[in-house]
Amino acid sequence: MHIADGILPVGAAAAADALALGTVSVLSRKIKAAEIPETGLMASALFLASLLHFPVAGTSVHLGLYGLAGVLLGPRSVPAVFVALLFQSLLFQHGGLVALGVNTVNMGLGALAAWLLWRAPGRAGAPRAFAAGFAGILVPAALMILEFRLIGYGRRILFLALVYVAVAALEGVLTAAAVAFLRKTEPSLLETRP
């Protein structure tokens, strides 16, 4: 789901870089010292999830865990996404440094959408956890497809939408399972965060 360097026009990539760095800077300042280990651990999980690639219909996909990050970290998920993407770019050339901003915006918005779904009024159970995991992948995929369509890149990019619906469903199931596990073992991690 990463956008590689050289695909987006330089101006668009630079604007996304500025937006991402500003957002990460503002949200990072709100992280309390006691929250740093949890945020770092989630960034590590995001990084590791990207290393497991699965071949699907002529392409490869990987888990993102952006929905789970949104549920557990709330707005702190955006700095965690940024750190994971930065290391993926530097170590494995997933995405790129020029495209780091657009990838952070896309995937960070997926995590924030999951967080908003999770904290909606009502009982936060398995269906809501599934929806958060589903949105955590589908929002970045939809944004990437929109961006590709706007610049005329890839005639068959809409085919990827079907692939990502399946990946989003898998992420929804994994997020619901993780939430059920945490509800039994460490429910304080699931408290609604501002």
Q: Would 150 be classed as within a structural domain?
A: yes
Tell me, yes or no, whether 112 lies in a domain. yes
Q: Is 80 left (phi over 0), alpha (psi -120 to 50) or beta?
A: alpha
Inter-helix orientation angle 126-151/100-118, to 10°: 150
- 95 with 85: CB under 8 angstroms? yes
CATH number of the structural domain spanning residue 140: 1.10.1760.20
Domain contains 143? yes
Q: Is residue 4 part of a domain?
A: no
59 domain residue, yes or no:
yes
Reported as a single tens digit per residue, the pLDDT across 6-35 is 888 999 999 999 999 999 999 999 899 999
Structure-token match 């690639």, residue found: 53
33: containing domain = 10-190
Domain count, the chain: 1
Whether the CB-CB separation of 132 and 177 falls below 8 Å is answered with no
- What stretches in the chain show pLDDT beneath 70? 1, 57, 155, 192-194
Helix axes 157-185, 126-151, angle to 10 degrees: 150
The answer to the question of residue 2 being in a domain is no
- pLDDT score for 85: 95
Annotate 78-113 with DSSP letters as a single string: HHHHHHHHHHHHHHH-SS-STTHHHHHHHHHHHHHH
Q: Considering the domain boundaries, does residue 147 fall inside one?
A: yes
Residue 29 lies in a domain: yes
What is the C-alpha to C-alpha distance for residues 42 and 113, in angstroms, rounded to an integer? 17
Q: Per the confidence metrics, is the pTM higher than 0.75?
A: yes
C-alpha–C-alpha distance, residues 133 and 112, integer Å: 11
So what's the pLDDT on residue 27? 94
